[in-house]
């Protein structure tokens, strides 16, 4: 019996060798499965030796392509890009500045994750974010390029139960988790037959984000609603306001196919506030609510996530957003985003390139 369970020295060696092989194979699988594979990690170290870089964070290809095609951007010759975790980080220069250009994909989750990856992997001295946005300020026009001083995430809600009025404490409010400081959107104000009819959806209160700054105590939260962009960047952006911008989708019109131009030349404007949420706003009533309650101009789906991550990681940040439509319709320009989105993207690129040249 005992003989069966004991093993010879030769058998022990074989078992040990087998275990080592299994362990090594497991380690190889782990390295392969890690977010940063070994060869990508080597690439990251190589890139960082030539840092620091300015991070250029762009929502989607439609906004990034004009930058990649722009003569202002020269791709790096030796290592033009690195792919990590489903994102492509492109290296090169814009004017004198070394840049890393990365596309986030749509929405708050994608843009937050991509910005965190960018800042975690690379030696980044600041972030310029640009794209197109919906407009909430009827005094501005399609094609105008805005640079807000503050951004808020307007997609974190506490939805109050039916029957409770604004004077009633929210669920978990006493814990300090939620507040009645921002918002509130009351659905009974939006009945088509006029307000005050009551609505089972009652109302929502907008909530500040829980933030965990890199230089703070881990897991010790703070709350932030209006997140400021970098003060120096914002100051510098004043120089953009005199910049001439393209007015026409195409210029050489013919009798059958005329040139398509905006009614007036677009301009760059620094504004107070912008907001973002993973919500495409094509609704005039909601646009007017955001304008009157929060005073925002651009409405988009990424900027606040990028600024929330940049601020927590201590990276200077600015966002440049060109207005592609009056969110929810109602402007003098017909067709709006469909016709002018490409022009708006082009102008956002032009302003971002100009801003980057001011940094060098
Ligand atoms: C929303 O408005 C209705 C009708 O005026 C009111 O009864 C209700 O208390 C309001 N709810 C909130 C959360 O303000
Ligand atoms: C200009 O662009 C508009 C909108 O895309 C199009 O309808 C029109 O035919 C174009 N004109 C020329 C001359 O290309």
pTM of the predicted structure, to 2 decimals: 0.87
Average pLDDT of adjacent 10-residue blocks, the chain of 360 residues: 45 56 52 73 95 97 96 96 96 97 98 98 98 94 96 97 94 91 91 78 96 95 97 98 92 75 92 98 93 97 98 98 81 62 94 96
Minimal CA–CA distance to 128: which of 234, 15, 258, 277?
A: 234
- Residue 197, both tokens: 């009819």
Atom of ligand 1 nearest to the CA of 168: 13
State in Å: Cα 16 to ligand 1 middle. 72
Q: Which residues line ligand 2 (CB under 6 A)?
A: 249-250, 252-254, 257, 259-260, 339
Q: What is the pLDDT of residue 239?
A: 98
CB atoms under 10 Å from CB of 347, counted, come to 28
Ligand 1, atom 4, residue with closest C-alpha: 196
Report the separation in Å between the CA atom of 334 and the middle of ligand 2, taken as the mean of its atom positions: 14
Domain 38-156+210-283+296-359 has CATH 3.40.190.10: no
From first CA to last CA, the distance across the chain in angstroms is 80
Cα dist from 318 to 48, 57, 83, 321, 356, whole Å: 22, 10, 25, 10, 11
CA-nearest of 341, 300, 339 to 321 is 300
Distance 286 CA to ligand 1 centre (A): 17
Is the CA virtual torsion 103, 238, 262, 356 positive or negative?
negative
What is the rounded CA–CA span in Å between residue 226 and residue 150? Answer: 6
Q: Which of 143, 246, 256, 258 to mutate to test the pocket of ligand 2 (most atoms within 8 A of CB)?
A: 258
The pLDDT score that the predictor gives to residue 112 is: 98
Ligand 1 environment, Cβ below 6 A: 160, 165-166, 184, 186, 188, 196, 198, 202-203
| Dist. CA 207 → ligand 1 center (Å) | 18
Amino acid 5: pLDDT: 43
Distance 56 CA to ligand 1 centre (A): 43
Spatial distance between the Cα atoms of 208 and 182, rounded to a whole number of angstroms: 8
Ligand 2 atom with the smallest distance to the CA of 254 is 13
Domain with CATH 3.40.50.1580 in the chain: 38-156+210-283+296-359
Q: Which residues pair with 102 in a beta bridge?
A: 57, 89
Distance 276 CA to ligand 1 centre (A): 25
- How many residues are present in the chain? 360
pLDDT at 2: 40
What are the Cα distances from residue 121, in Å, to 27, 42, 107, 285? Answer: 22, 11, 21, 42
Per-residue pLDDT, 300: 98
Q: Which ligand is nearest to the CA of 160?
A: 1
What is the torsional sign of CA 271, 332, 281, 355? negative
Give me the pLDDT at residue 76, please: 97
Which residues, in sequence order, are bridge partners of residue 185?
204
CA-proximal residue: ligand 2, atom 13 (nearest): 253
Q: Which of 161, 163, 165 most suits a substitution to test ligand 1, by most atoms within 8 Å of the C-beta? A: 165
CA 218 to CA 231: how far, in whole Å? 26
């Amino acid at each position: 019996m005992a003989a069966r369970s004991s093993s010879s020295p030769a058998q022990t060696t074989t078992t040990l060798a087998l275990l080592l092989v299994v362990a090594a194979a497991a380690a190889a699988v782990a390295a392969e499965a890690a977010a940063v594979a070994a060869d990508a990690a080597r690439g990251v170290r190589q890139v960082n030796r030539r840092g620091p870089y300015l991070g250029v964070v762009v929502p989607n290809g439609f906004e990034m392509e004009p930058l990649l095609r722009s003569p202002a951007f020269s791709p790096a010759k030796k290592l033009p890009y690195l792919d990590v975790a489903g994102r492509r980080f492109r290296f090169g220069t814009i004017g004198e500045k070394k840049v890393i250009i990365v596309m986030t994909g749509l929405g708050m989750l994608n843009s937050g994750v991509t910005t965190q990856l960018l800042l975690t992997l690379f030696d980044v001295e600041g972030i310029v974010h640009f794209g197109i946005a919906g407009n909430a300020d009827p005094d501005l026009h399609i094609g105008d390029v805005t640079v807000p001083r503050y951004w808020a995430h307007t997609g974190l809600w506490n939805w109050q139960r039916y029957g409770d009025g604004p004077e009633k404490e929210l669920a978990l409010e006493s814990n300090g988790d939620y507040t009645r400081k921002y918002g509130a959107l009351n659905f009974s104000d939006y009945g088509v037959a006029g307000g005050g009819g009551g609505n089972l959806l009652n109302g929502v209160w907008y909530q500040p984000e829980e933030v965990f700054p890199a230089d703070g105590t881990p897991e010790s939260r703070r709350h932030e609603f209006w997140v400021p962009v970098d003060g120096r960047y914002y100051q510098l952006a004043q120089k953009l306001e005199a910049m001439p911008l393209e007015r026409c989708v195409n210029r050489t019109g013919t009798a059958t196919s005329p040139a398509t131009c905006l009614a007036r030349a677009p301009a760059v404007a620094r504004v107070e506030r912008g907001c973002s949420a993973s919500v495409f706003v094509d609704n005039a009533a909601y646009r007017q609510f955001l304008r009157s309650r929060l005073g925002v101009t651009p409405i988009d789906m990424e900027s606040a996530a990028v600024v929330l991550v940049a601020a927590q990681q201590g990276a200077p940040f600015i966002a440049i957003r060109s207005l592609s439509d009056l969110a929810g319709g109602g402007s003098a320009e017909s067709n709006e985003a469909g016709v002018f989105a490409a022009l708006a993207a082009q102008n956002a690129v032009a302003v971002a390139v100009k801003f980057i040249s001011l940094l060098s």
